[in-house]
């Protein structure tokens, strides 16, 4: 492929993976024998990229990303604070490198250098106008990578870690995607539901997705451990909202596990969710009873199907009331610190 064709294809790919307005895409990488050019379906927001074309674009993006910049200070916080250098040119160079990292991650989801650069870019723009829009675009791009039928992305610890970093580190009072501790109960509920949905979709794309379900544990701790333990005890209304949310999510994850009975990662998260609800039983009205009903329903479901499988059996064994660890969250729950 000539340099002119590579540049044109590269720019075309960038326009497609970062549409305006931003939206979640379903991206697939296909063998070059099936398709020879990039295919895009606007109604379905579906993007198909030939493997050979992606490799060419990756090499082109890598060259852009690793080309030394004439304004070295754009990579340091000091240069930002001093305002030195040609700001217009710096902005263009940064934007080009940001776009290049998108292609790098599309080819290699564990490209740690690209992820670190994007983190530094977001941190350096925290005090600038439009920062919340950058965070929204980053979350949408990550959702596209994590929920698409890609070979390695849905189970990438680098991508899941970057998404969690956004919620842990980026602080803003501009909306539900900002500081999770400043959101209202309703915003918190919607955000938790959205993140859990992403994990469940990723779990369907790639079985035994322990990285995805571990991210769900971290999000649960981040959203509720910090807010719940401090606010729930003194706010009865929030406690009721949280109880309703726990019931809804328990049933949702239970149904997901019924559809994927051989996926131990999903059953392990269901156990984590049950223990969290039971642990809060003194505050959440009916929490312990809710968990008991779920375990009974799961046992009945298993017996009705005469199902024999390690994942279901292990879940039931560990949730038995005689188990001394039934209410010991610390031994079974990963808490994000």
User: What digits encode the pLDDT tens for the residues 251-296?
Assistant: 999 999 999 999 999 999 999 888 877 655 444 556 778 888 999 9
* pLDDT bucket at 131, cuts 50 / 70 / 90: confident
Q: What angle do CA 332, 333, 334 make, to 5 degrees?
A: 125
Supply the pLDDT for residue 273: 86
- pLDDT by residue (tens digit) across 167-177? 888 743 344 44
Model pLDDT for residues 15-52, shown as the tens digit of each residue: 999 887 789 999 999 998 888 899 999 999 999 999 99
Task: Please state whether 130 falls in left (phi above 0), alpha (psi between -120 and 50) or beta.
Answer: left
Look at the pTM and tell me if it is higher than 0.75: yes
pLDDT of amino acid 83: 47
Mind listing the pLDDT tens digit for each residue in 188-214?
Answer: 778 888 999 999 999 999 999 999 999
Residue 3 has pLDDT above 90, yes or no: no
Return left, alpha or beta for 18; rule: phi > 0 is left, psi -120 to 50 is alpha, else beta. Answer: beta
Give the CA radius of gyration of the chain. Answer: 23
Kindly state the tokens that stand for 290: 């809710």
The tens digit of pLDDT for each residue in 301-329 reads 999 999 888 999 999 999 987 544 444 44
Nearest-angstrom CA–CA distance, 330 and 334: 7
Query: What is the structure's pLDDT at 173?
Result: 35
What lies within 8 Å, CB to CB, of 211 at 6+ separation is 155, 156, 157, 160
Measure Cα distances from 22 to 14, 43, 194, 263 in Å: 12, 14, 17, 33
CA dist 99 → 4, 102, 184, 278 (Å): 18, 5, 34, 46
């Amino acid at each position: 492929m000539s340099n002119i064709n590579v540049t044109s294809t590269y720019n075309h790919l960038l326009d497609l993976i970062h549409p305006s307005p931003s939206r979640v895409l379903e991206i697939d990488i296909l063998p070059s024998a099936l398709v020879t050019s990039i295919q895009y379906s606007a109604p379905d927001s579906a993007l198909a990229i030939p493997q050979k074309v992606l490799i060419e674009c990756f090499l082109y993006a890598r060259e852009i990303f690793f080309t030394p910049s004439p304004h070295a200070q754009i990579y340091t916080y000091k240069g930002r604070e001093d305002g030195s250098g040609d700001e217009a040119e710096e902005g263009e160079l940064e934007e080009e490198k940001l776009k290049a990292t998108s292609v790098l991650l599309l080819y290699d989801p564990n490209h740690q250098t690209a992820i670190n650069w994007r983190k530094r870019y977001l941190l350096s723009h925290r005090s600038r106008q439009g920062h919340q829009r950058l965070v929204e675009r980053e979350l949408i791009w990550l959702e596209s990578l994590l929920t698409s039928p890609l070979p390695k992305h849905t189970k990438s610890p680098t991508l899941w870690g970057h998404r969690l970093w956004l919620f842990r580190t980026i602080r803003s009072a501009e909306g539900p995607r900002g500081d999770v501790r400043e959101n209202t109960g309703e915003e918190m509920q919607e955000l938790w539901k959205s993140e859990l949905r992403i994990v469940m979709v990723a779990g369907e794309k790639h079985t035994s997705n322990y990285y995805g379900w571990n991210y769900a544990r971290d999000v649960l701790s981040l959203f509720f451990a910090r807010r719940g333990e401090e606010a729930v005890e003194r706010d009865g209304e929030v406690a009721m909202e949280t109880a309703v949310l726990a019931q809804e999510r328990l049933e949702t994850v239970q149904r997901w596990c019924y559809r994927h009975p051989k996926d131990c990662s999903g059953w392990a998260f269901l156990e984590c969710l049950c223990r969290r609800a039971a642990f809060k039983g003194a505050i959440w009205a009916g929490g312990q009873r809710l968990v008991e009903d779920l375990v009974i329903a799961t046992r009945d479901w298993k017996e009705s199907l005469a199902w024999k499988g390690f994942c279901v059996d292990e879940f039931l064994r560990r949730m038995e009331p005689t188990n001394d660890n039934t209410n010991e969250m610390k031994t079974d729950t990963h808490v994000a610190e």
